[in-house]
Amino acid sequence: QVQLVESGGGLVQAGGSLRLSCAASGRTFSGYVMGWFRQAPGKEREFVAAIGWTGGSTDYADSVKGRFTISRDSAKNTVYLQMDSLKFEDTAVYYCAASRWAYRGRWHVPDKYDYWGQGTQVTVSS
């Protein structure tokens, strides 16, 4: 069992930055692919970014590529999402997720993740 707790959300103006954190506890954190997803009101949950268990591989949704950076600190059992140049359309609840078995080609699929955090709200004002 892995417990995930997100933090760092809030209200920011367009063009600003936020850094989300996801603290993991329970089973060995380093053995999991970690992903960030988001869900806006009335929309389906969508993939944002993911990082492999070594931290050496990352993937991003096209909509955030070049603006968001995912990273992990295994010593702290924490994964981060640095969000820069935020846009109004980035407004959503952001969820952290952990996958034990997803291979890279499926990192963007929510069903491949075994554990989810409770989410943190990010609101970008235009």
Model pLDDT for residues 7-35, shown as the tens digit of each residue: 999 999 999 999 999 999 886 777 899 99
Give the pLDDT confidence score for residue 26 in this predicted structure.
80
CA distances from 64 to 20, 71, 81, 104 (A): 14, 15, 11, 18
Give the pLDDT confidence score for residue 31 in this predicted structure.
84
What confidence tier does 1 reach under pLDDT thresholds 50, 70, 90? confident
For the chain, the maximum distance between any two Cα atoms, rounded to a whole number of angstroms, is 40
Q: How many CB atoms lie within 10 A of CB 117?
A: 21
pLDDT in tens, 104-126: 899 999 999 999 999 999 999 98
Give the pLDDT confidence score for residue 108 in this predicted structure.
95
Is residue 2 exposed (0-12), middle (13-18) or buried (19+ Cβ within 10 Å)? Answer: buried
Give the pLDDT confidence score for residue 55 in this predicted structure.
81
CA distances from 44 to 2, 37, 71, 110, 120 (A): 24, 10, 24, 10, 16
Q: Is the pLDDT assigned to residue 3 strictly greater than 90?
A: yes
What confidence tier does 43 reach under pLDDT thresholds 50, 70, 90? very high
Sheet holding 68-73, edge to edge: 2-7, 18-26, 78-83, 68-73
pLDDT in tens, 52-105: 988 889 999 999 999 999 999 988 999 999 999 999 999 999 999 999 988 889
User: 39 and 93 in contact (C-beta within 8 Å)?
Assistant: yes
d(CA 54, CA 82): 18
Give the pLDDT confidence score for residue 64 in this predicted structure.
98
